[in-house]
A and B are shown apart, each in its own frame.
Chain A
Amino acid sequence: MKGEEDGFGFADRSGGEKVEQLVQIKALFFARARDLTGINDVLLEVPSGSTTKDCLDKIVANFPRLEEILGCVVLALNEDYTTESTIVKDKDELAIIPPISGG
């Protein structure tokens, strides 16, 4: 049974006995973050209980060029204010918003 589940390549979220549950979040990139990653959004899986900071670390690991702007961004989780210690849930959307200066 277990092997069959693994064969499908995803964890059974309803079966509570899994060793490590994963949650899937969507990172949204804006402005300079779009230029640096070349994309508007990305799906990523993190262990259940991960924080916003953990997600950011994982995102930067995938897109190292984002490092340069992380000191100056607004973060929003599901369009709401968030801090780095907020625990993310499945299907959450984490927006990375650097300021635009142009006009």
Chain B
Amino acid sequence: MASSTTESSRILHEIETLKSAKSDLERRISALESQLHGLNHPHNNGVCIASSTSPSAFPHGLSPDMIYRYSRHLLLPSFGVQGQLRLSKSSILVVGAGGLGSPALLYLAASGVGRLGIVDHDVVELNNMHRQIIHTEAYIGRSKVESAAATCRLINSTVEIVEHKEALRTSNALEIFSKYDIIVDATDNAPSRYMISDCCVVLGKPLVSGAALGLEGQLTVYNYNGGPCYRCLFPTPPPTTACQRCADSGVLGVVPGIIGCLQALEAIKVSSAVGEPLSGRMLLFDALAARIRIVKIRGRSLQCEVCGENSKFKAAQFQEFDYEKFTQSPLSTSPLRLKLLEPNSRISTKEYGDRLRNGESHVLVDVRPEHHFKIVALPNSLNIPLASLDGRLEEVVSALKEEEHKQSSESSGADVQLYVVCRRGNDSQRAVKYLQEKGFPSAKDIIGGLEGWAHEVDPTFPSY
């Protein structure tokens, strides 16, 4: 008895295993058949199907391939055939193929938008890779637009991908935007955000705007169905000190990823006319607290310079407008290069390298924040962050004294020099200015900072 029970359970088990293998094979066969069908009927767009099924069997215009590819969309009662059809007939422009644009483009391509445009003028860099997930290592040093377009085409060859390999300016924005139904702002700077919003108002296009920095993200749909524009909310640009960039403040890669995904979602909702787009509301994402808040924001402002009642802001005014001047910050992502000091208060990285080799007696103060100093620093540098410099002048004094003491024992004679370094050579100038006022008249900054050092003196010195 016992042995026959064991035998029957073994047989049952084998039947289950074979059935599962059979259904796997059937799935693979049907996938291959559909692939073969696609090869034999490229780009038929559902118009001419050579089979027993007549074209009139699909009055909605979705081809068999589209039905299969987007079946999970079609199965959604609230999205369905109509949602997919609207999406496939819509065109969406994503400005910026970076941290926000990467996931937005991936999802928009995958979901079957009819035409997808990408604007960017940058090249892919190694320090983009942790968040700009549309790019692969093979594209480092090459155009972001080319890289993003290649990935989109690999994901969905049926979507028309348009490459705009240029910086967005007032001179080309109207022409580019006018070819699309919806604009997605995935840029990384204040002047671009004003320019994109204004251009959307002039052309009457809805704008899906996302932003991310550090561990926070923001998302809103502007200029949609009588809702506010960016300027209704922020008529005065933020002070330049508040215009932070990921390159300066850092950003956790997945944060723009989440906001970019939500931008794709809002763009899909607007284009397929499904659901309630995030207009008149702003989503605030706080990664550290794992919290998403949605706050109601003001409606369209009647006094808005651009979209208000009596606004005279039209295409001509847009083309004349100086967004860099308005926001006091550059449209390009190139970092700021200040010139606060006289040439005799500065030395080049090469010169500093020579003095270091010659054993010149000096103190090097690194004024970067402490967490920067921990990433990498020059040997024997003293870290006093710019923000705490005024309270820590004593440390500079004692470091100079110590150096003087060493020198007098070696009896070489010259004064102990005081140099200041930072990441790019802006804060070091601010620090030198301050030090000169506080009784260190010979303080000098190292031009171009550690970035310059890596560039001009020591190529093995890490950049970040």
Chain B residues whose CB sits within 8 angstroms of the CB of A68 once the complex forms: 239, 241-242
Q: Are B256 and A103 in contact, CB atoms less than 8 angstroms apart? A: yes
- Give bound CA distance, A79 to B282, whole Å: 10
Partner pick for B238 among A30, A80, A99, A103, CB 8 A cutoff: A99
Report yes or no: A101 in contact with B213, Cβ–Cβ below 8 A: yes
Q: Are B211 and A103 in contact (CB under 8 A)?
A: yes
Q: Write the chain B residue with the least CB distance to A31.
A: B216
Determine if B376 is an interface residue (Cβ-Cβ < 8 Å): no
Residues of B within 8 A of A103 (CB): 96, 98-101, 186-188, 210-212, 246, 256
Say whether B294 faces chain A, with CB atoms less than 8 Å apart: yes
B328 within 8 A of A: no
Given contacts A100-B218, A101-B245, contact A74 B295 (CB under 8 A): yes
Task: Name B284's contact: one of A80, A97, A101 (CB within 8 Å).
Answer: A97
Taking CB atoms and an 8 Å cut-off, the chain A residues in 10-41 that contact chain B are 30-32, 34, 40
Residues of B within 8 Å of A32, CB to CB, are: 238, 242, 244
Given contacts A32-B244, A98-B242, A100-B212, contact A80 B295 (CB under 8 A): yes
Residue of A nearest to B185 (CB): A103
- B residues contacting the other copy or chain, number (CB 8 A): 45
**Would you give the 0/1 interface string for A64-91, flagging 1 where the beta carbon is closer than 8 Å to chain B?**
0000110110101001110000000000
Chain B residue nearest in CB terms to A83: B298
The number of residues on chain A lying at the interface, defined by a beta carbon within 8 Å of a beta carbon of chain B, is: 22
Which residues from chain B contact A74 at a C-beta distance below 8 Å?
233-234, 282, 295, 297-298
Residues of A within 8 A of B98 (CB): 103
**From B187, B189, B218, residue with most partner A Cβ within 10 Å:** B218
CB contact under 8 A between A102 and B244, given known A71-B236, A74-B233: yes
Q: In the complex, which residue of chain A has the Cβ closest to the Cβ of B251?
A: A102
| A103 and B241 alpha carbons, distance in the complex (Å) | 17
CA distance A100 to B294 in the complex (A): 15
| Cross-chain contact A72 with B242 (CB below 8 angstroms) | yes
At the interface, yes or no: B249 with Cβ under 8 Å from chain A? yes
* Chain B residues whose C-beta falls within 8 Å of the C-beta of A55 in the assembled complex: none
CB distance from A44 to the nearest CB of B (A): 20
Say whether B400 faces chain A, with CB atoms less than 8 Å apart. Answer: no
**Given the complex, which residues of B lie within 8 Å of A71, measured CB to CB?**
236, 239
Q: Does B353 contact A (CB under 8 A)?
A: no
Chain B residues 280 to 310 lying within 8 A of chain A, measured CB to CB, are 282, 284, 286, 289, 293-299
User: What is the CA–CA distance of A2 and B297 in the complex, to the nearest angstrom?
Assistant: 44
| Cα–Cα, bound, A32→B299 (Å) | 24
Q: CA–CA, A31 to B282, complex, Å?
A: 14
Residues of B within 8 A of A30 (CB): 216, 284, 286
Of A72, A81, A98, A100, the contact of B217 (CB 8 Å cutoff): A100
Complex Cα gap A66–B197 (Å): 26
Residues of A with C-beta under 8 A to B211: 99-103
> A40-B289, A101-B188 given as contacts; is B212 within 8 A of A72 (CB)?
no
Q: Are A101 and B244 in contact (CB under 8 A)?
A: yes
In this complex, the member of A34, A71, A81, A103 whose beta carbon has the largest number of chain B beta carbons within 10 angstroms is A103
Q: What residues on A are CB-neighbors of B238 within 8 Å?
A: 32, 69, 72, 98-99, 101
> Bound state CA distance, A94 and B32, in angstroms?
58
User: Is B141 positioned at the interface, with any CB of A under 8 Å from its CB?
Assistant: no
Binary per-residue interface labels of chain B (169-197) against chain A in the complex, 1 for a CB within 8 Å, 0 otherwise = 00000000000000000111110010000
Specify the chain A residue showing the minimal Cβ separation from B329. Answer: A101
Chain A residues near B289 (CB, 8 Å)?
A: 40
Shortest CB distance A88–B (Å): 16
B45 to chain A, nearest CB (A): 35
Q: Could you jot down 20 A-B contacts, CB within 8 Å? A: A31-B213, A31-B218, A32-B242, A34-B216, A40-B289, A69-B242, A74-B234, A74-B297, A76-B297, A97-B218, A97-B282, A97-B284, A98-B238, A98-B242, A99-B190, A100-B211, A100-B213, A102-B214, A103-B187, A103-B210
Binding site for A on B (CB under 8 A): 96, 98-101, 186-190, 193, 210-214, 216-218, 233-234, 236-239, 241-246, 249, 251, 256, 282, 284, 286, 289, 293-299
Given contacts A32-B244, A71-B239, A80-B295, 9 further A-B pairs with CB under 8 A are A34-B216, A68-B242, A74-B297, A74-B298, A79-B295, A100-B211, A100-B217, A101-B193, A102-B211
